[in-house]
Amino acid sequence: MATQHDTPPDADTAASGRAAPRAGTTLTLGAVLLAVFVVPTSISGTAVALPAIGSTTGADLVPLQWVVNAFNVMFAGFTLVWGSLADILGRVRAFAAGAAVYGAASLASAVVSNVYLLDAARGLAGLGGAAIFACGSAILSTVFTGPARAKAFALFGTVAGIGVAVGPSLAGVIVEALSWRWVFGAHAIALALVLLAVPVIARNTPSSGREGARIDVAGSVLFILAMVLLTTGIVQGSQWGWSSGGVLSLLGGTVLALVGFTAVERRRAHPVLDLSLLREPRFVGLCLVPVAASFGFVTILTYLPSYLSFVGGYGAGASGLAMVLLTFPVFACPSLAAALVNRGVPAALLLYISLACLVAGDIALLLFEPGVSLAVVALPMLVTGAGMGLSAGLVDRLALDIADEEKAGMAAGFLNTLRLGSEAIAVAVYGSLLATFLTSRVAEGLGSYDRTETPEAIANEVAGGHTGEAAASAEGGAFHTFLVGAYDASFHTVLWVLAAICAVLFLLIAALLRGGARPASATGSSEGTR
């Protein structure tokens, strides 16, 4: 078992708080960022390949959807566990194991011909991706100090945001130019490059294993069970019905598993989640910031293209160009936030601005309507993107500054569990609300048209983006105009709900950040987060 060092080897820190340059730190940063880039591109881009996968494998809808769902379920279930394992076994060792699993699973995904084997391979990839995210951020918090740490986490946030934003476009290009198999083959190649850099990462990262610590098997199993039950319930809610016995059983099982998890963790000397972390208000507040971004930004990123297509009449290329207005701030704002903090701007102020941007941006997106000019909605889209970009990376660094060094992996695992778990929940909530509001509006006006479909069937078709049949059957006619108006009104109602959720989270986060001890800032002073 490796021993814990207080400082990195060769980390001769100057009085100014800047770490002396060390050979290999640039390669360490590059390898971690490459791995971090691959994971969100898979999360956001795999769905683009589903039609081609279905055509090749002849898969039905449900197993085809689990190509995406299996990854998300495993990622959400194992992120916290990998973070704890990183603190016990060593962060580099856990990171390398995750990269190897992800690479092997991606290679398997590229060659299998059976959709059920593909589902299993994507689940295995999600397990590896959880290690990459949890251990990658913990490695950065260990290798870098002072302003260098701020820049590293700014790049972490930027690269993760770029991965989410370009994932669909990148996957689309690969599918059209090569085949869907190369979407996963490209991931395998990227992770092979990361594994080649592991020896360099190990030389530049202090050992982080804790002497005498044991793996919390019972706690890990209960937490994984809770996350699998919860995410499966959310995923299946739209298919089985949110009030169905199957979904209610899954959600009830989640509550029981979490109760058992809490009881076990309180008695463990080395728990998978030290509950004392959750007694620190500032840490909890920081972990809730990505939750607000999930509701205020990730939902829009996921569903706005469907709105642009059905209501705006945009083609795929035009929608992609329009989405740049939403995603550009995700590229630019993390580095901007790091630079501002290093110049003395309080980090907490930037987090408040990011949350305010999410609320204001979602409300301003109400300007969207049929035939609206992009010039009118450009500013709301940029503001909404800034709400995500200003906090990306910054919140990770601040949260890990609060946690004890030996618990950095655990803290990173918990943060990323909330991040991905809330994304799954937010997207599911958005889809459910849109379908509910759309069904109501379709039902109100359907009697005026000679249609045989039920309001639920039409609403699900339109809300899911599968609008071809409903639109083509009356293209340019009154029924199509009616559907466009119903979708537009439902979209606006959902925006109000999202803005309200972000506003409530804003108030809760602000209250939590005002409590508890102040963490050290990126500049080495406690002033940076005030």
The residue written with tokens 């194991």 in the block is: 97
Rounded-to-integer distance, Cα 12 and Cα 465, Å: 56
Task: Give the pLDDT band (50/70/90) at residue 121.
Answer: very high
Radius of gyration of the chain (CA): 23
Does residue 215 have a pLDDT over 60? yes
Give the range among 29-33, 333-337, 428-432 with minimum mean pLDDT: 428-432
Rounded-to-integer distance, Cα 160 and Cα 293, Å: 13
State mean pLDDT over 201-208. 74
Q: How much is the mean pLDDT over the chain?
A: 79
Q: What is the pLDDT of residues 343-384, one digit of tens each?
A: 888 989 999 999 999 999 999 999 998 888 888 989 999 999
pLDDT at 209: 54
Q: What is the pLDDT of residues 246-262, one digit of tens each?
A: 889 999 999 999 999 88
State mean pLDDT over 192-197. 92
Burial pattern 272-282, b for ≥16 Cβ within 10 A else e, equals: bbbeebeebbb
Give the range among 21-25, 38-42, 152-156, 412-416 with minimum mean pLDDT: 21-25
Q: DSSP string covering 438-492, please?
A: HHHHHHHHGGGS---S-HHHHHHHHHTT--HHHHHTTTTSHHHHHHHHHHHHHHH
Task: Give the pLDDT band (50/70/90) at residue 191.
Answer: very high
Q: How many CB atoms are closer than 10 A to CB 469?
A: 10
CA 267 to chain centre: 31
Instruction: Tell me the range of 4-13, 113-122, 521-530 where mean pLDDT is highest.
Output: 113-122
State mean pLDDT over 9-30. 54
Task: Give the pLDDT band (50/70/90) at residue 9.
Answer: very low
Percent of the chain with pLDDT over 90: 20
pLDDT at 90: 80
Q: What is the pLDDT of residues 436-490, one digit of tens each?
A: 888 888 888 776 776 667 777 777 667 655 554 544 444 447 777 888 888 889 9
- 82, 417 Cβ separation under 8 angstroms: no
13 forms beta bridges with 19
- 88, 215 Cβ separation under 8 angstroms: yes
